[in-house]
C-alpha cells in the first residue's frame, strides 16, 4: 500500500534528506533498467 511505502520513507527522511535522494536515484535506475530490458 502507498501508506506503508510512505511510512517506510519517514524514518529515512528523519535520518537524512540524502537518504531520500539516494532512494529516488536507485528507483530511477531500476525503472530505467527495466525499460531497457523490455526494449
* 39 residues of the chain, pLDDT tens digit each: 667 766 666 665 556 666 677 778 888 888 888 776 665
For residue 11, the model assigns a pLDDT of 63
Calpha distance 18→32 (Å, rounded) = 21
Q: Are the CB atoms for 23 and 12 separated by under 8 Å?
A: yes
- Collapsed DSSP state (helix, strand, coil) of residue 16: coil
- Tell me the domain boundaries of the chain: 2-38
Calpha distance 11→36 (Å, rounded) = 32
- Return the C-alpha cell found at 18: 540524502
CA–chain centroid gap for 17, Å, is: 13
Amino acid at each position: 500500500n502507498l501508506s506503508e511505502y510512505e511510512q517506510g520513507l519517514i524514518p529515512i527522511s528523519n535520518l537524512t534528506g540524502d537518504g531520500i535522494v539516494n532512494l529516488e536515484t536507485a528507483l530511477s535506475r531500476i525503472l530505467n533498467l527495466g525499460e531497457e530490458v523490455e526494449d
